[in-house]
Chain A
Amino acid sequence: MTTVDITVDKDRCVGSATCVVVAAGSFVLDEHDRSEPTSQAGSDLDGVEQAEQLCPTAAIRVVRSG
């Protein structure tokens, strides 16, 4: 089975909220306005990949394995 690992580099994240909008439910901003993936992030891979591409600082990483 393929597993997908979604991470946000909080040092790079500028809090644009792009990911929160294009992949609704998959990312939230924390109390410092930095993004983090939610537990549902794996269920909308299309959205997550769009967010990965549109993130202004390339802070989102999607790694597939298996």
Chain B
Amino acid sequence: MRPREADLTDPHLYADGDPHAVWERLRSQDPVSWQLAGGKTGYWSVTRHADVDRVLRDHATFTSTRGTFLNVLGKDDPASGKQLAVTDPPRHTAMRSPLQRTLSIRSTAEQIEMIRDRVRAALRPGLEHGSMDLAEAMSGLPVAVLGTMIGLPEADWPHVTELALMAVAPHEWTLPRGPVVTLRRAHRGLFAYFQDQTHARQGSTGTDLMSALLEMGIEGCPDPGTVVANCYSLIVGAATWPHAPTSALIELVRTGRYQELAGRPELLDPLVEESLRWASPANHFLRHTTRDVELGGVPLPAGAPVVVWLGSANRDESVFADPWTFDPARQPNRHLAFGSGPHNCLGAALARRMIRVVFEELFATVDDITLDAEPGHIASNFVAGHRHVPVTLRVRSPAGRNAT
């Protein structure tokens, strides 16, 4: 009999244990395997890059309509048909296109200076003190950028950030009454908030992103439920991106390569990609089989839950040479941090720009960084990152700043 595998759905494995050791073993010995979740329900676990990619591309066989996160395992997702992430083609395609236009590579170029302002504001206190908690300083950025693009009042950003953090990692940002209550509060809080915001905007056009959201209703008719559900997706989807630059910076500092990279602007684009691979900030997605199917040589029955582990796919030794080395010049870099197939991350172009701006701003203002303490991992099977990353900064003198 095989020894019992650590439970990959247990949030505490990510804070106190080593999920990568589990994935490494599964990739080599049991790439597609049945795993238990909390000893009650189970799911098919998919760990290799090729199999993960296939599951995400083939929406007809691996549907999103029954939910995409482990926390709905054993329940059906109530937002199906309204929320982009849990609607499959063909309806998905029509819903997605207005948002896709606003968030395309080209359209998001117009946001770069706004992003830069927000990033500077987030880093300013740390630069003044010569030290900061990098993770905490950046935790408000997703809502600041998206909030600006949707047109949410600035006074609401801290509250929305708090709810988004609770929603993505309820075992980490836990209310006194526990993670289940935390998640429910966060969902209700966000839905109620976006309901009020949507209500307040009917009849007025608002920002490009708000009009795109209003266009997503059924057959082009604005549907408040759809807007609310997708605002929720945007805010929760976006909440993970600061972990990419933060995890990458930790690794650059540890390996003594921060200064070298700061002086190599030509590596910024591959650095962004390697940060995404390295961090894999969104760690898992759930699908359900719609028919009997063979995956990686293993027969799966119809109606079975299937979990793809992006954190594992992005360390697959058959795709990435030296997967355990953070290589800012890695090319090609076919990471799956943004998923694959029809549901691939809609915010990818924006996320890439935001991550790049964080590096640009730090490299321009900070000559060197040291870690004040070993950062711990967030207790979550979904979001991979760190809650606190205390660092000391050697800030460039204004003259030195001009030189870079």
Residues of chain A at the chain B interface (Cβ within 8 Å): 11, 14-18, 21-22, 32-33, 53-54, 56-58
Residue pairs across A and B with Cβ atoms less than 8 A apart, 8 shown, are A11-B332, A14-B57, A14-B340, A16-B344, A21-B93, A32-B57, A53-B104, A56-B104
Complex Cα spacing A32 to B244, Å: 29
A54 contacts B341, C-beta separation under 8 Å: no
CB distance from B63 to the nearest CB of A (A): 15
Taking CB atoms, residues of chain A closer than 8 Å to B104 are 53-54, 56
Taking CB atoms, residues of chain B closer than 8 Å to A11 are 332, 334
B341 contacts A18, C-beta separation under 8 Å: no
CB distance from A10 to the nearest CB of B (A): 11
Q: A11-B332, A56-B348 are in contact. Are A17 and B100 (CB under 8 A)?
A: no
Complex Cα spacing A12 to B398, Å: 41
Complex Cα spacing A50 to B354, Å: 24
Q: Is B322 an interface residue (CB 8 A)?
A: no
* SS of A interface (majority): loop
Complex Cα spacing A18 to B99, Å: 12
Interface size, B (range): 20 to 34
CB distance from B301 to the nearest CB of A (A): 23
B344 contacts A14, C-beta separation under 8 Å: yes
Complex Cα spacing A53 to B340, Å: 18
Taking CB atoms, residues of chain A closer than 8 Å to B100 are 18, 54, 56
Complex Cα spacing A56 to B339, Å: 12
Q: A14-B341, A33-B57 are in contact. Are A53 and B97 (CB under 8 A)?
A: no
Considering residues A16, A33, A58, which has the most beta carbons from chain B within 10 angstroms of its beta carbon? A16
B93 contacts A33, C-beta separation under 8 Å: no
Which residues in window 131-165 of B have CB below 8 A to A?
A: none
CB distance from B353 to the nearest CB of A (A): 13
Complex Cα spacing A56 to B351, Å: 12
Taking CB atoms, residues of chain A closer than 8 Å to B341 are 14-16, 33
